[in-house]
Chains A and B, each alone.
Chain A
Amino acid sequence: MNKDDTDITDESIVMLVQKGDKEAFGLLVDRYQNKLARYGRKFLSRVEDIEDMVQNVFISAYENIQNFDVTLKFSSWIYRIAHNTFVNALRKNTKSFLTIDFDTLLSHPVYDDPDIKEREQKEMRVLIDQGLEDISSKYREVLVLHYLEEISYKDIAEILQVPIGTIGIRIKRAKEALREKIDQKKI
């Protein structure tokens, strides 16, 4: 199989790696290192060694690749590893031992309307560029994943391992927080 073939799915590449094709893992690195670096840079706005962290994400992915079920989406899986790596880096800085996420307690309705999304996408990207650093990491992360990485609510829910309704409410609150911060800046 030609490994440069862009039609080959991530999951098929993983199957090759699982069978012992070590070189095939390089294809996955090619496909995801930019995305993960961008995700990390935006999510951990004050952390500098993103490249090292992205490298650690790939190392962890390779070590655990036999645990990946090829019937699922590889992108969600690697973003999950990246999320854990970045959250651990954040925890080192914040020293918070126990946090209760109240967004995950109850269910919330989800409105993931593609038309509204398209209209919003451009507007939100502009807002994110202006004020992302000023909002909490919990909200920053969902905005980056949804508006910059263009990942659906359902897949973000898989990455963060929370109910899909939680993603909806977090994005809503994140947008409100972002707008508020930008308004404050303008004043």
Chain B
Amino acid sequence: MEKEETQINIKDKILNEIQSGDISMRPRFQFTLRLIALSALTFFILLISVFILTFISFSARISHHDELLGFGFRGFLAFLLVFPWFFLIVDIILIFLLERCLRNFKFGYRFPVFYLFLVLLSAVLIFGLGLDRGTSFNDSILERREHLPRPIGNFYNQANRPMIKGEGLCFCKILAIGNKKLIVEDSRKGGTVIDVLLPNDLPLEIFESLTIGDTVLIAGQERDGVIEAFGIRNIPNMHLERLEIREQSIYR
């Protein structure tokens, strides 16, 4: 009996409040607007994450850091050393945010969290790398950076990153070639001349391809101003101009 009365009370109370206007329906457009805003935010976060990833890839390419990966395990470690971790962490945070946004949609919460995160990470990786390696998107932004809005222009000014000083990684200009040894001008130290000991297992064709005046990427261990190289690679001429631009701005 008491239960029935409570039931009637709730119903009457609610209907009275509805009739008196104390409770009212929110108009449909509010929900539509919210959905549009959420979709736009999700899309925006997706764009930014792809943009950051494509920038990381571009930065590794234009700085020739990705070529360290061709120097075996030690090259891989050197690559990790010069990798822009900050950008990657920001990107992962954005992918987490993206995942949170997608959970508001039906297709989002039906997937297990970890799988959805992996799908998003893969999508961002594929689009980001594809945009950099498959199109000239980043190259054209770099060329037009002076005419672009300042934040983007400044961002791209940082694309060409130097090697870390004192870590045995450098872009150097060959001054002389000896037996198992090079004398180079170190661009990191404003043109200091240093010795580079070549690796014993350096393929002959690479050694023969080196000529005086070439700019080379050297990876090795630096001790007392001498680099014991474990990897050396010619930098193609097409990138030299960019390197010089970057170095001028670094050492200015």
Contact = CB atoms under 8 A, between A and B. Distances in A.
Interface of A: 18, 22-23, 25-26, 29-30, 33-34, 51, 54-55, 58-59, 62-67, 104-107, 157, 161-166
B31 A67 contact: yes
Contact of B25 (A34, A66, A106, A163): A66
Interface of B: 6-7, 10-11, 13-15, 17-19, 23-28, 30-31, 103, 109-115
Contacts of A51: 6, 10
10 contacts: A22-B15, A25-B15, A29-B10, A29-B11, A34-B7, A51-B10, A55-B10, A107-B115, A161-B109, A165-B112
Given A34-B7, A161-B109, A165-B112, A67 B15 contact: no
Nearest to A58: B14
Contacts of B23: 59, 62-63
B18 A22 contact: yes
Contact of A104 (B13, B24, B27, B112): B112
A3 B112 CA distance: 42
Main SS of the interface on chain B? Answer: helix
Nearest to A54: B10
A157 B25 contact: no
A66 B110 CA distance: 24
B249 to A, nearest CB: 43
B11 A26 contact: yes
Given A66-B27, A67-B26, A106-B114, A162 B109 contact: yes
A30 B115 contact: no
Contacts of B115: 106-107
Nearest to A158: B106
Contact of A62 (B25, B27, B110, B114): B25
Contacts of A161: 103, 109
Given A22-B19, A105-B112, A157-B110, A63 B26 contact: yes
Nearest to B7: A33
A105 B27 CA distance: 36
Nearest to A157: B110
Nearest to B15: A26
A153 to B, nearest CB: 13
Nearest to A20: B25
Contacts of B24: 63
A14 B42 CA distance: 30
A66 B26 contact: yes
Which of B18, B19, B111 counts the most A-chain CB atoms under 10 A from its CB? Answer: B18
